[in-house]
Structure 1
């Protein structure tokens, strides 16, 4: 038998051992290719760029980050599993050495085996990715809410990148792992099973400390969700939870099992065998349990948060409160009025009923050094853009919200976003109002004192410091400003209709027209600046007005659907990346458990052979096996779900979203997957153990 035949025979002979390793590696390569495909797909780049340059940049950054994360995960996973393989094949490797194979040739054998297997897995992963490309592009189109379908393509760069990364990973792992392999170490591995194992030790102080750290970590997370003042409490909660999880697996679990072992009720039948085996397995697998629990928890929380952010309910509370919003000043008010009328006509031509209104604003200031500001716990800005109460009530009625009543001497500051609103809702009005000196107008023509009320009433119109006063107060201020010649006439015009999200083509047509007109205006202004040159600095206001008379003013506007679409696309990208990364996490975690279970098959087989000789029935042995595997497969899952519950409860305090729906979907799907995986492994493991325990039945 030559060297090549030996390699092929080893791969065939260890097919069942290599199967999960091969499948997991293939899946990782497939996901890597999918991300590469999305990153290099020209049509996807174009559609996202046309929607928003920010979304296009976010997509590129997110997909690139995902590729790096998957590559790192694959490197760690493959390194771990290759080390497990060496341990699993210790008897075969020792026999090769006894038969006279050189250490150099043994290293070359293992290197070529792993490199060949990795190359095949990479090729299969790329082929599987290509075969599923059309389905994945359809999913991407829906998740990212693209207006057009994505064409089926096979980017050469995606294939090249996947091949280089994964073949490179396998080669590096093979080279590093085999270069440190020593013949004496391999021979000594075969004697490990003969060494007696001392009973695991634990201390009640460390066991109790593990539980206390977990509780302290949970408490810190809830403290952050209630206070929302600093990330320090959140980071502290994460650190304490990680430390508590690891200490609980290493100490608390062993402590509990040793206490159970002392009870006479647990020294009967298979319970004695089960607890004894649990005790040793818990010590041996504590690090693995901690790793799986923490990585699964991270995947759970990451997917749930992205599902929450990517949900329609979250996207709908982002952006402006009305369909269209135009700012104006005294100079461009007539142009904005004509433009609003034109857009109204376009919308109504499609059969929609619109409502529109123009709102005037007055600037109100508070001196930053006013001592009264120190008493205002919710101070955020010393400048306000103030509207009259009647305009505020009209807007709130249009968006389906209740307007807050205003007293004559009050200035009601509105919440610009959901987080500010939630913060203010948590305290009574008496704690969020302060008597402050105010100055009206650009030149502070009028001064006085008013009660500034920070209101949870939310109106998002891209004005930070948007506020409301009574109509009488507003009219008095406006009259004073006009008389003094300090009038700073500015404001906004809004258009709204309930079906703003039902006709993307109409919105796209309107936005394209407005954007093109603004682009033309910028081009004309640029040409004017170039033509005038240095004379611009010498021109008076009248000269400048005359020079720009033929150029339409720039139309500053916001589209609710555009913001909504950008949020959906951005969140869709993040959601898809998170789900695929979570799938890689779960597959790798399951594979680690699988490898850890079958790595000690020889030793476990010898143990069950001893039980068989002592008269333990197959049914009793199977009971012991089931209980052992249930702990191995479901204990980390239960702890991860507990961490997940705490995280979702904290998130539910921060944001009013259906987080428990996300919890039930994610947790339920993973539990179903874990049950199926457990049953498959249980059947195979029992069959292999029975072969060791009673060879005569084969």
Structure 2
């Protein structure tokens, strides 16, 4: 038998242990290859939308590649720790350190090359399906399957380099201590897990504080809280597994009524060791799963953006003219003609906007010139947009802050002294609904009483709103007047304009592309998390066999064995997932600050989908694990 044949037989003999690692690596290669096929597909032309899709997929390639690097490093280092007894036997029979390193290198390269071949093969088989899904989500014509040699070469070279580097690196991780230490590595009794009460308390404080900050965040505070919350959550999670969870188990052991009941003595005693031994693995699974949940959940929540747009754009087409030049009549005439030719029914409403000077204000962000509209015109816009209007008529010196976006939040109480007549007005609230979208006005304005509006003087503009039943009917209209659905107030034009249907389509296309990318990347992360659990479970299989064999000699029944194993597997599989779900729930609570509408349904569907997948995986692994235990025990 040649040395490469010996390495190959080693891999085949340990195929059960390497299975999840191999399949996860192959799946990562497959997704990387599929994205490369999209990136190099000749039918995806350089356009704004398609270019964004390509950029997102390139970003996904980098994310998966770096994740695969750390995933493989962790996996290989775990496997090496479980093979010390095997290495001891080989060295006892004369294998040198150099030969042992060469053996580990060959095994890793065989697994890596196999994963590349299988991953690319799966990508070729499923490529057409991904192209069909992608063409729908990217809103382009059906893509024919095209095998790009660039995609094939990029995937092969990238992952060959990855596995080559890791195979070289792992040769330095092989520890050849004394033979007696290698032989006894799996038989030494485990030390009593120690716990720090101080670090346990720190863990609880960090997690509670991060949850509180996430739950109470607003759109104004989110940017300042996001990094501290992420940092506290990561540190708190690590100490939760290494300290707090073990501390809780030790408290349970002191409860004699619970601890001495039936098989709880064995189950709870093992929990402390399991938690301590698997702390890093639990931590990694939790963080990786949380990232997957949040990535998919965040983009799935964008389904509510349609309703959000309806609130942010009361008029499906908004047009504000700076003066009375003939060009405005021509533009408005073009809008009406194009809508008529497209057989789109609409209603219009025109209203004046006055710009008044502000002498002073208690609002430090108040501009020198404010746009002002009357309460009656604001009410009319809300009614034509079919908004529920419950606001009461303003008093003479009372004003509303003019909301230009549903998520805008500011200091409600402010006093303005207008230059004209030194009139003082009090702002106690913002309008319930958006008056004009943010693209049409340079500064936040005021809604004043009709009487005050008539008394005020200043430069005047005219707003013309076109109200259409279906926002999507305006998609891609008036492209000579706007760029991608908008002409901002600060652009070099004598008018500002919005076409909400085009804006919505562009926004939804971007989020759909991001969802397409996030789903596949999230799947890679989730499957990798399952792999961590799988090979950690089988790494402890020999130790578990010896332990349960000893216990069965003193009367443990098969039914009790199943109960103990099931409880321990439930801990292994669901503790990190449940913690990840809790992390994600509070992350989604922070995300809710970006929406005026509830995203709870989308969040529940995403988390429930991942949880069901984990349940199915649990029952499959449980049946396989029990079958392997029975081979020795029964």
TM over 0.5: yes
3-state secondary structure, aligned to 1:199:
coil
Change (3 A) 1:229 1:617: closer
Cα deviation, residue 60, structure 1: 4.3
Q: Distance in 2 between matches of 1:684 and 1:459?
A: 62
Per-residue displacement from partner, 1:265-301 (whole Å, max 9, x unpaired)? 3235422221222221111112221222233223223
2:295 to 290, 302, 316: 302
Number of matched residues?
620
Partner of 2:435: 459
The question of 1:385 aligning with 2:377 is answered: no
1:417 to 399, 402, 405: 405
Q: Distance in 1 between matches of 2:311 and 2:200?
A: 46
Q: Which deviates further from its counterpart, 66-75 or 587-596?
A: 66-75
For the Cα contact (< 8 Å) 1:315–1:568, is it kept in 2?
no
3-state secondary structure, aligned to 1:385:
strand
3-state secondary structure, aligned to 1:557:
strand
3-state secondary structure, aligned to 1:224:
coil
3-state secondary structure, aligned to 1:179:
coil
Q: Distance in 1 between matches of 2:555 and 2:135?
A: 62
Residues 225-264 of structure 1 mapped to structure 2, 5 A cutoff = 225=218, 228-229=220-221, 231-264=223-256
Partner of 1:181: 174
Cα deviation, residue 565, structure 1: 0.8
Residues 258-657 of structure 1 mapped to structure 2, 5 A cutoff = 258-265=250-257, 266-313=259-306, 316-317=309-310, 320-330=313-323, 332=325, 334-367=326-359, 370=360, 373=361, 375-376=362-363, 379-401=365-387, 402=389, 404=391, 405-420=393-408, 423=409, 432-439=412-419, 448-452=423-427, 454-456=429-431, 457-461=433-437, 462=439, 463=441, 464-478=443-457, 488-501=459-472, 503=473, 507-508=475-476, 510-514=477-481, 557-652=497-592, 655-657=595-597
3-state secondary structure, aligned to 1:164:
helix
For the Cα contact (< 8 Å) 2:304–2:599, is it kept in 1?
no
Cα deviation, residue 239, structure 1: 3.0
1:220 to 195, 213, 224: 213
3-state secondary structure, aligned to 1:302:
helix
Q: Which has the larger radius of gyration?
A: 1
The question of 1:65 aligning with 2:59 is answered: yes
Cα deviation, residue 176, structure 1: 0.4
Aligned Cα root-mean-square deviation (Å): 3.0
Partner of 2:488: none
Partner of 1:33: 33
Cα deviation, residue 590, structure 1: 0.7
Q: Distance in 2 between matches of 1:39 and 1:597?
A: 38
Q: Distance in 2 between matches of 1:261 and 1:477?
A: 77
Q: Distance in 1 between matches of 2:436 and 2:158?
A: 46
Q: Distance in 1 between matches of 2:495 and 2:243?
A: 67
3-state secondary structure, aligned to 1:437:
strand
Per-residue displacement from partner, 1:460-516 (whole Å, max 9, x unpaired)? 3321324334455444445xx6xxxxxx45333332211231x46xx43x3345469
Q: Which deviates further from its counterpart, 614-623 or 14-23?
A: 614-623
Change (3 A) 1:314 1:495: closer
Change (3 A) 1:22 1:279: same
1:129 to 91, 110, 123: 123
Unaligned runs of 5+ in 1: 425-430, 441-445, 482-487, 519-525, 527-552
Q: Distance in 1 between matches of 2:334 and 2:145?
A: 40
Q: Distance in 1 between matches of 2:110 and 2:582?
A: 41
Partner of 1:531: none
Change (3 A) 1:109 1:315: farther
Q: Distance in 2 between matches of 1:688 and 1:185?
A: 31
Q: Which deviates further from its counterpart, 683-692 or 34-43?
A: 34-43
Q: Which deviates further from its counterpart, 92-101 or 25-34?
A: 92-101
Q: Distance in 2 between matches of 1:357 and 1:59?
A: 38
2:102 to 101, 108, 111: 108
Cα deviation, residue 629, structure 1: 1.0
For the Cα contact (< 8 Å) 1:318–1:563, is it kept in 2?
no
Change (3 A) 1:494 1:611: same
3-state secondary structure, aligned to 1:357:
strand
Per-residue displacement from partner, 1:33-65 (whole Å, max 9, x unpaired)? 23333333444444xx2xxx4x55644443332
Unaligned runs of 5+ in 2: 486-491
TM-score (norm 1): 0.81
The question of 1:663 aligning with 2:634 is answered: no
Residues 77-96 of structure 1 mapped to structure 2, 5 A cutoff = 77-96=71-90
For the Cα contact (< 8 Å) 1:87–1:189, is it kept in 2?
no
Per-residue displacement from partner, 1:623-655 (whole Å, max 9, x unpaired)? 221111111111112222222333334444563
3-state secondary structure, aligned to 2:402:
strand
Partner of 1:529: none
3-state secondary structure, aligned to 2:171:
helix
For the Cα contact (< 8 Å) 1:366–1:439, is it kept in 2?
yes
Change (3 A) 1:156 1:500: same
